Amino acid sequence: MFFQIYKILVYVASKASNIVMLFLLRTLISLLPMFVFLAALVFLDSFKLIRFRVVLLTIGAGGLAAVASFIGNNALLRLDGVDLRLYSRYGAPILEEVCKAIYAAYLIKAHRVGFMVDSAIHGFALGAGFACIENIYYLQSLSDPNILLWSIRGFGTAIMHGGTTAIFAIVAKNAADRQAATSWRVFLPALGMAIALHSFFNHFFLPPILSMLVLLLILPLLLLIIFHRSEKAARAWLEVGFDTDRELFELITGAQMSASKIGVYLQALRKSFAPEVIVDLMCYLRLHLELSIKAKGLLLMREAGLRPAPDPEIQNAFAELQYLKKSLGKIGMLAISPFLSASSRDLWQLQMLQETPAALRKT
């Protein structure tokens, strides 16, 4: 269906004589493949946690990255001794991938993405926004009427921008999860990979059409493999995490707590903290587990295609959680840290749950 529509656009563009109509058709030809690919990624996401508004925001961030890259590239090309050919192969890929990667890195550091699937969608959306601005600029500055040129830009260059940033976000997210850290050094290997792929594409080792075909064969296959692995890991994490949280919650709220290791540990804490602090510690731990269990339950329901009604008590629960955290201070939080999971994925699920009322509205 998509390729039939695309063939019609190409045919109409080849026959069009009106300047405005020709510009619009070229724009569609150069951008449509990329946005269809992005829509496919969103559709493949089983949990459907990324809202349409968030995707648009990420596309906008990619557009800003394109503007920043344009300004930076022009400034560097004005320097004496800069060779355009060498710069396009080695300089431009560095600047452009860094500009695109900044927002993706921010999302990971802020625990706004939970799985590699989310990273892939955000990364490709960033590249889509970047390519959108870049292609519109070239449409205005280049007068070449060759429809093949704009097809290559749509299926080749635009997909490349989305693909390299998606790969950066996926690799960076995976590294952050494995190392349980989000320092900027975690992102360097992923950034190096994106820059290398971009530079390879700009070397034009293959004819443009062949390069476009190779990209269209490899990138979808790579992302499908990543999606499969990510969703498999997500289901395993949900099953194990749900059972663990539930067992711990039942233990701290049951009659056998005093005889458990948690009870023994809390008895030891009573020697260091006042009784009211111990009460706050228990309240924080209980509330944290309740929210964690609810978040995993929501994910399981969304994967099953259900849209649970927003819980009006969620925001109050988070307000109480923040109040208890402030009341306990760093020492109190450190005391119960053995019972709290601090991985980026668990922090993300609480962030997701905090935004649940908005996230569950139909988009």
Please give the backbone phi and psi of residue 310, each rounded to the nearest 5 degrees, phi first: -60, 140
Q: What is the DSSP letter of 20?
A: H
Alpha helices (H) along the chain: 2-15, 19-44, 52-77, 84-86, 92-109, 116-141, 147-152, 158-179, 188-203, 208-253, 261-269, 275-303, 314-336, 344-354, 356-359
Q: What is the share, in percent, of the chain residues with pLDDT greater than 90?
A: 18
pTM of the model: 0.68
Check if the beta carbon of residue 170 is closer than 8 Å to that of residue 117: no
Query: How far apart are alpha carbons 91 and 86 in whole angstroms?
Result: 7
For residue 173, the one-letter residue type is K
Q: What is the pLDDT of residues 33-68, one digit of tens each?
A: 777 778 877 777 666 667 788 889 999 999 999 999
For residue 325, the one-letter residue type is K
Q: What is the pLDDT of residues 232-289, one digit of tens each?
A: 776 666 665 666 676 677 766 665 655 666 667 766 777 777 788 888 888 888 888 8
Residue 136 has pLDDT above 60, yes or no: yes
| 201 burial type by CB count under 10 A (0-12 exposed, 13-18 middle, 19+ buried) | buried
* Two tokens, residue 177: 């999860």
Inter-CA distances, 193 with 14, 113, 235, 349, Å: 38, 20, 28, 28
For residue 246, the one-letter residue type is R
* Two tokens, residue 188: 């360097």
Q: What is the pLDDT of residues 273-306, one digit of tens each?
A: 778 888 888 888 888 888 877 777 777 777 666 7
Higher pLDDT among residues 2 and 18, named by residue: 18
Q: What is the mean pLDDT of the chain?
A: 76
Query: How far apart are alpha carbons 193 and 305 in whole angstroms?
Result: 36
Check the CA dihedral 22-23-24-25 and report its sign.
positive
pLDDT category at 192 given cuts 50, 70, 90 is very high
